């Protein structure tokens, strides 16, 4: 994987593993950490999480890409959040690794496209290690196995600091994805569990993906205690 930074010197960064958590508190935590990273009071910080079922709609998206009525969605107990990342509608839920890097791009060469490529590359390399050939598709951010999407990427950048990130399908509920047009497209999605006989857990995948991302961003990554910064079930 190509390194974004010109220097080979590693920079300190922190990993906060959130476990299973609802979307709302995690989104608020991203905003709080983003503000602190802009202010320079924390280093680059990356969150990993497995969300409760949720649909999120990006800046260029629309609820029209829900395939079901609001009544059906509400009965399924899946909320919708309209968020500031790029892209259209997507799904997060159990069996999916979500990675939220809070990164100061000024320390990474200031190239947003290269940063997105690093997220995609970390997923592609991880999948290759499990015998799955995945790739990018021009004009469509994310990672694909043939014509099926296995990982989504959506990033927001303000004052050179990122939030949102990567969602990698390990063993998701396809019936939930069937309720939307993912990314506003008529496409199929796939999970790693459909392609290999012994897929890793979300925690195992998080460790492997972050190892590759840390190489690309030249991080010296340490693990922090999430309980110091949030209480995930507070709304």
Q: CB of 235 within 8 A of CB of 144? A: no
Strand order in the sheet with 80-82: 80-82, 54-57, 89-92
Q: Is 3 a catalytic residue?
A: no
Identify the active-site residue in 183, 190, 202, 216.
183
Task: Give 81's Cβ-side CA count (13 Å radius).
Answer: 17
- Locus of tokens 């922190």: 14
CA distances for 140 relative to 85, 87, 116, 182, 193, angstroms: 15, 9, 12, 12, 23
Catalytic annotation, residues: 183
């Amino acid at each position: 994987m190509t390194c974004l930074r010109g220097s080979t010197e590693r920079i300190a960064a922190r990993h906060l593993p959130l476990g299973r958590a609802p979307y709302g508190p995690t989104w608020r935590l991203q905003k709080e950490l983003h503000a602190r990273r802009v202010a320079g009071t924390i280093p680059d910080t990356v969150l990993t999480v497995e969300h409760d079922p949720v649909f999120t709609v990006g800046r260029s998206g629309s609820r029209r890409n829900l395939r079901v009525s609001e009544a059906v969605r509400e009965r399924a107990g899946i909320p919708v959040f309209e968020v500031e990342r790029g892209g259209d509608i997507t799904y997060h839920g159990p069996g999916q690794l979500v990675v939220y890097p809070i990164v100061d791009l000024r320390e990474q060469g200031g190239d947003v496209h290269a940063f997105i490529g690093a997220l995609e590359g970390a997923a592609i390399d991880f999948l290759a290690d499990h015998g799955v050939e995945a790739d990018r598709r021009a004009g469509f951010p994310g990672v694909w196995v043939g014509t099926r999407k296995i990982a989504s990427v959506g990033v927001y950048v303000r004052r050179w600091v990122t939030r949102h990130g990567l969602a990698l399908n390990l063993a998701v509920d396809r019936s939930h994805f069937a309720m939307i047009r993912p990314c506003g497209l008529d496409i199929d999605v796939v999970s790693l569990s459909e392609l290999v006989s012994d897929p890793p857990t979300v925690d195992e995948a998080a460790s492997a993906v972050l190892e590759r991302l840390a190489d690309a961003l030249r991080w010296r990554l340490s693990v922090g205690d999430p309980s110091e910064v949030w209480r995930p079930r507070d709304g």
